[in-house]
């Protein structure tokens, strides 16, 4: 943004020294606030787009990192970003050195079996949900468990990942993350919520990020984006621009409440507005879908939301 404004001001579109457009743009340049991470790193959100890391996702990750740094949650400029909205056959984890700008790792990672099949679309902070969690976590100690060399993490966001340690959401190797497994099935295998890694890279990656670095898990979850203490106004803006989430049985939260309210208004739901996508909500969705001439699979995607007028 700042670079664009600077270029326009230098171009002097009026062609004279007293150009009001130049004066206005110069004032904007002088008052445009710096991004919160500018004082910590020279990394820009668009620097890794050619490696699949979307600028809007990295901007959120850098915002959260800067807040974590300010709070004293971390003292190391290593940032791990996971984009759970990407297909699991894609390399959707990046480990960045924020001082040098180097990409230390770019690899596959798993999501939980309760979060979806090939992409993550449901997330939880609840024990035994087998879902991944979103938000900012900080790496802690390593240990040897049933998956071998593993790394514990502590979630920093209440309601979204604060139970990560108790749920044993850890980084570990898994045979279902090998390239041969992915090639044979068209997707990676799934964990019980852990961001599992390919065995050939797991130890090196764990050693690079253990002991107090930030791990940022992204997914288009409006409740988290607008409710995160680490994202602030940038999270609010991101949430406002999201399309409605895909919902299915087992989903919970404000998005389900909006669904139940819409189904009730349409005359298909007479249960409680409780944010729990259970059997009754699924039956109501299927009845609505049949009435609208849609496949009655009970899954609320873009087409069903559109038919509901949301």
CA dihedral 47, 52, 55, 58 (to 10 degrees): -90
Q: In what order do the strands lie in the sheet with 148-155?
A: 103-107, 93-97, 78-83, 214-218, 135-145, 148-155
**C-alpha–C-alpha distance, residues 308 and 186, integer Å:** 33
Q: Do the domain assignments include residue 38?
A: no
Q: What is the pLDDT of residue 18?
A: 53
Final residue belonging to a domain, choices 194, 214, 240: 240
Whether 99 and 164 map to the same domain: the answer is yes
Could you tell me the end-to-end alpha-carbon distance of the chain, in angstroms, rounded to an integer? 32
Q: Do the domain assignments include residue 44?
A: no
Residue 98, phi-psi category: left (phi > 0), alpha (psi -120 to 50), beta (remainder): alpha
Among residues 101, 62, 102, 100, the alpha carbon closest in space to that of 81 is found at 62
Whether 180 and 91 map to the same domain: the answer is yes
Q: Do the domain assignments include residue 283?
A: yes
Q: What is the pLDDT of residue 39?
A: 84
Whether 301 and 152 map to the same domain: the answer is no
The H or E element spanning position 105 is strand 103-107
Q: What is the pLDDT of residue 29?
A: 34
Q: What is the pLDDT of residue 33?
A: 52
CATH code, domain with 289: 1.10.101.10
Residues 6 or more apart in contact with residue 121 via CB below 8 angstroms? 115, 219, 245, 246, 248
Q: What is the pLDDT of residue 183?
A: 96
Is residue 134 within 8 Å of 84, Cβ to Cβ?
A: yes
Q: What is the pLDDT of residues 219-251, one digit of tens each?
A: 998 889 999 999 999 999 999 888 777 888 887
Q: What is the pLDDT of residue 32?
A: 43
Whether 25 and 142 map to the same domain: the answer is no
Q: Do the domain assignments include residue 248?
A: no
Q: Do the domain assignments include residue 249?
A: no
Final residue belonging to a domain, choices 180, 212, 240: 240
Q: What is the pLDDT of residue 243?
A: 78
Q: Do the domain assignments include residue 247?
A: no
**C-alpha–C-alpha distance, residues 139 and 131, integer Å:** 19
Final residue belonging to a domain, choices 240, 275, 300: 240
If one counts the domains in the chain, the total is 3
Whether 75 and 196 map to the same domain: the answer is yes
pTM for the model stands at 0.76
Q: What is the pLDDT of residue 141?
A: 98
Q: Do the domain assignments include residue 131?
A: yes
Whether 75 and 185 map to the same domain: the answer is yes
The H or E element spanning position 59 is helix 55-71
Q: What is the pLDDT of residue 10?
A: 42
Name beta bridge partners: 93: 82, 107
The H or E element spanning position 217 is strand 214-218
Beta-strand runs (E) in the chain: 78-83, 93-97, 103-107, 135-145, 148-155, 214-218
The H or E element spanning position 216 is strand 214-218
Whether 191 and 54 map to the same domain: the answer is yes
Cα 203 from chain centroid? 24
Whether 233 and 268 map to the same domain: the answer is no
Whether 193 and 278 map to the same domain: the answer is no
Q: Do the domain assignments include residue 246?
A: no
How many residues are listed for the chain in this entry? Answer: 310
**C-alpha–C-alpha distance, residues 35 and 82, integer Å:** 21
The residue to which tokens 């002991």 are assigned? 211
Whether 168 and 303 map to the same domain: the answer is no
**C-alpha–C-alpha distance, residues 33 and 22, integer Å:** 19
- Where the chain has pLDDT below 70, the residues are 1-33, 310
Whether 186 and 235 map to the same domain: the answer is yes
| Residue-number span of the structural domain to which 17 is assigned | 2-31
SS3 78: strand
Report strand pairing: 135-145 vs 214-218: antiparallel
Whether 185 and 211 map to the same domain: the answer is yes
CATH code, domain with 127: 2.40.440.10
Q: What is the pLDDT of residue 24?
A: 45
SS3 218: strand
């Amino acid at each position: 943004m700042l670079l664009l404004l600077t270029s326009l001001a230098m171009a002097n579109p009026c062609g004279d020294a007293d150009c009001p457009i130049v004066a206005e743009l110069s004032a904007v340049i002088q008052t445009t606030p710096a991004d919160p991470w500018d004082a910590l790193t020279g990394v820009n959100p668009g620097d890794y787009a050619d490696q699949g890391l979307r600028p809007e996702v990295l901007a959120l990750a850098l915002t959260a990192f800067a807040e974590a740094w300010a709070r004293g949650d971390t003292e190391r400029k290593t940032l791990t970003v996971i984009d759970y909205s990407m297909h699991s056959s894609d390399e959707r984890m990046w480990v960045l050195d924020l001082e040098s700008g180097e990409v230390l790792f770019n690899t596959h990672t798993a999501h939980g079996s309760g979060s979806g099949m090939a992409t993550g679309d449901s997330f939880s902070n609840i024990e035994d949900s087998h879902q991944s969690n979103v938000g900012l976590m900080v790496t802690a100690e390593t240990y040897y468990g049933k998956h071998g060399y593993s790394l514990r993490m502590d979630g920093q966001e209440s309601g979204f990942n604060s139970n990560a340690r108790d749920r044993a959401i850890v980084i570990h190797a898994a045979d279902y993350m090998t390239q041969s497994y992915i090639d044979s099935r068209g997707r990676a295998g799934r964990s019980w919520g852990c961001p599992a890694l390919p065995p050939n890279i797991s130890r090196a990656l764990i050693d690079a990020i253990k002991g107090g670095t930030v791990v940022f898990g992204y997914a288009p979850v409006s409740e988290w984006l607008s409710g995160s203490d680490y994202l602030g106004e940038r999270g609010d803006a991101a949430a406002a621009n999201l399309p409605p989430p895909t919902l299915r049985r087992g989903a919970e939260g404000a998005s389900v409440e909006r669904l139940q309210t819409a189904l009730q208004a349409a005359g298909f739901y007479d249960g409680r507005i409780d944010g729990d996508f259970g059997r009754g909500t699924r039956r109501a969705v299927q009845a609505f879908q049949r009435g609208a001439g849609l496949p009655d699979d009970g899954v609320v995607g873009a087409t069903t939301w559109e038919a509901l007028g949301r």
